[in-house]
Amino acid sequence: MSTAAPPRTRDVAYRGFRLAADHGSGSAEGLRADARGLLLAEPAGVRPGPDGDDRRYEWGAWTAPPVPAGFAVGEVVPSWTAETPDGCWLEVEVRGWHGDAPATGWYVLGRWAGDDGTVRRASVPGQRDPAARVETDTLVVGEAAVTGWQVRATLLRPAGSDRTPTLRSVGAVATGRPGTTATGTAHTDGAPHVDGAGHADEAARTDGAAHADEHAAGRPDGRARGLVLDVPRYSQRLHAGAYPEWGGGGDSWCSPTCTSMVLAFWGAAPPADRYAWVDPPGPRPVVVHAARHCFDHAYAGAGNWPFNTAYAGLHGLDAFVTRLRSLAEAEAFIAAGIPLVVSAAFRSGEVPGLDYDTRGHLIVLAGFTADGDPVLNDPYAPDDEAVRRVVDRGRFEAVWQGGSGGMAYVIRPSDVPLPPAPAQANW
């Protein structure tokens, strides 16, 4: 079969920074580098905590260099991996860039800790001005001319403490502005973020919806055809009604359930002592653990994209959020042995086999049939056996691209190489 790259139907570009290897490309305040990443050394200052937290925190920060996207940017989604001992946390900000100068101010895209006893792990609603706005985990460009981005990660610990958070990686994916073109192909993307995702814990985005003829775009090389990765099958619905304080319980836990499936695939699930507090233990306490530790207190759900990849990072894996342009690109990951978590939005009957309505739902892409149809682990199933589903390729690609602009969690051990990236690199 042909190994030609698929035509580029949308502008999508990802850039990540591995730390401490890439720390010299940016600027650091109060941090030091070692084999683990960037740590607080001599703090740059002391600041109050967020949201009425009257404690004082020492801080240091790493600011990435401006990253040119090469196109008019409509959205930026950051992601990171880090470690946060008791009392420590992280704040991640993004701003737009154009030419040789900032195009927007800084916006906070997350206040994050690996536990929930330090700060309220949360996105920060209400950040909106003519230049741009924050929609949970996404910076949406408004009137500003933005052709690149910059990210800043601030590490914080209680004043006087000798503990330190560690930043291992940080990056972002940028997608094209609505109405722009890529390689001469018109497309539409950028319908607003919608909060309240029905049964799912993932809110709908309609960034990057392509024309119908573009849903089938791409020329896969065939290596993933007939390959299905042995991803364990977990049903979120077995947890219906459990722990409603984390997004309403299991019926809304599609994202942490998918993240848990992929962690188990890599043999990186948390050990039993980490979730011994789950009482009663229920059908699969490890999923309850994930829901608690991915929960976004401001969004009131466990479907914050970078919070899920950051949770995977706590278990020793490399993880980031990106967008893919087609199932042809997704096939490259399956061929490399890497399952993906993807987000789609659809109505019952739109994709035969997915017979429910959702404004945003996370599903594991585990492989492809010999004919190229996606093989899914869909957590919205009555039991584990029913999690495995095979769906029509064109129909699923349409609701994935139209529902989230091709969003994907990429989660893998560092010694498992990514597939070769396309010329406009989106991983």
Residue pLDDT, tens place only, 88-101: 999 999 999 999 99
Omega of the bond leading into 20 within 30 degrees of 0 (cis): yes
Q: What is the DSSP string of 259-320?
A: HHHHHHHTT-PPPGGGGTT-SS--S-HHHHHHHHHH-BTTTTBS--HHHHHHHHHTTT-EEE
Residues 299, 284, single domain; the answer is yes
Buried-state track 347-365, b at ≥16 Cβ within 10 A, e below 16: eeebbeebeeebbbbbbbb
Find out whether 384 and 233 touch, Cβ atoms under 8 Å.
yes
Q: Three-state SS for 31?
A: strand
Residues 155, 247, single domain; the answer is no
Run of H or E residues at 385: none
Segment 288-308 mean pLDDT: 97
Q: Say what the pLDDT of residue 204 is.
A: 35
Domain assignment present for residue 426? The answer is no
- pLDDT digit string (tens) for 275-287? 999 999 989 999 9
In this predicted structure, the answer to whether residue 5 has a pLDDT above a threshold of 50 is no
In this predicted structure, the answer to whether residue 208 has a pLDDT above a threshold of 60 is no
Q: Which two three-digit tokens encode residue 408? A: 């994907």
Question: Sheet containing 340-346: which strands, arranged edge to edge?
Answer: 318-323, 407-412, 340-346, 358-368, 374-377, 388-390
* pTM of the predicted model as reported, rounded to 2 decimal places: 0.90
In this predicted structure, the answer to whether residue 411 has a pLDDT above a threshold of 50 is yes
Q: Say what the pLDDT of residue 94 is.
A: 98
In this predicted structure, the answer to whether residue 379 has a pLDDT above a threshold of 70 is yes
Q: Say what the pLDDT of residue 185 is.
A: 34
Q: Say what the pLDDT of residue 201 is.
A: 42
Find out whether 58 and 159 touch, Cβ atoms under 8 Å.
yes
- Out of 34-38, 50-54, 226-230, 241-245, which region has the weakest mean confidence (pLDDT)? 50-54
- pLDDT digit string (tens) for 28-64? 999 999 999 999 999 999 999 988 788 999 999 999 9
Closest CA to 355 of 395, 404, 409: 395
Which CATH number goes with the domain that contains 392? 3.90.70.10
Residues 167, 233, single domain; the answer is no
Residues 224, 327, single domain; the answer is yes
Q: How many residues does the chain have?
A: 427
Residues 276, 332, single domain; the answer is yes
With a pLDDT cut of 70, the percent of the chain lying above it is 88
Domain assignment present for residue 6? The answer is no
With a pLDDT cut of 90, the percent of the chain lying above it is 85
In this predicted structure, the answer to whether residue 104 has a pLDDT above a threshold of 60 is yes
Domain assignment present for residue 417? The answer is no
Average pLDDT of the residues of the chain = 90
Residues 124, 261, single domain; the answer is no
CA distance 385 to 352: 18
Residues 276, 401, single domain; the answer is yes
Residues 46, 129, single domain; the answer is yes
Question: Which residue range is the domain that position 98 belongs to?
Answer: 12-186
Residues 197, 168, single domain; the answer is no
Q: What is the DSSP string of 139-200?
A: EEE-SS--SEEEEEEEEEEETT-----EEEEEEEEEEEPTT-EETTEE----EEEES--TTS
pLDDT band at 219 (very low <50, low <70, confident <90, very high): low
Q: Say what the pLDDT of residue 236 is.
A: 97
Helical segments of 364-417, H only:
393-404
- Out of 13-17, 210-214, 252-256, which region has the weakest mean confidence (pLDDT)? 210-214
Higher pLDDT, 85 or 221: 85
| 37 CB neighbour count, 10 Å cutoff | 23
Residues 237, 126, single domain; the answer is no
Domain assignment present for residue 422? The answer is no
How many domains is the chain partitioned into structurally? 2
Q: Which two three-digit tokens encode residue 406? A: 């091709």
Segment 67-89 mean pLDDT: 97
Omega of the bond leading into 125 within 30 degrees of 0 (cis): no
Run of H or E residues at 250: none
| Backbone φ and ψ of 390, nearest 5° | -115, 130
Q: Say what the pLDDT of residue 181 is.
A: 65
Residues 141, 265, single domain; the answer is no
CA distance 81 to 313: 5
Q: Please return the burial class of 303, using the count of CB atoms within 10 Å of its CB with bins 0-12, 13-18 and 19+.
A: buried
Task: Answer with the one of 153, 186, 219 that is the final residue of a domain.
Answer: 186
Domain assignment present for residue 164? The answer is yes
Run of H or E residues at 94: strand 89-98
- pLDDT digit string (tens) for 172-196? 999 998 766 664 333 222 222 232 3
Domain assignment present for residue 423? The answer is no
Q: Which two three-digit tokens encode residue 59? A: 């801080």
pLDDT band at 396 (very low <50, low <70, confident <90, very high): very high
| Backbone φ and ψ of 216, nearest 5° | -95, 5
- pLDDT digit string (tens) for 306-325? 999 999 999 999 999 999 99
Residues 177, 270, single domain; the answer is no
CA distance 49 to 46: 10
Question: How far apart, in Å, do the first and last CA atoms of the chain sit?
Answer: 24
Q: Say what the pLDDT of residue 197 is.
A: 34
Q: Say what the pLDDT of residue 52 is.
A: 79
Q: Say what the pLDDT of residue 178 is.
A: 76
Rounded to whole angstroms, what are the CA distances from 31 to 20, 85, 136, 339?
11, 16, 28, 34
| Matching residue, tokens 């792990």 | 121
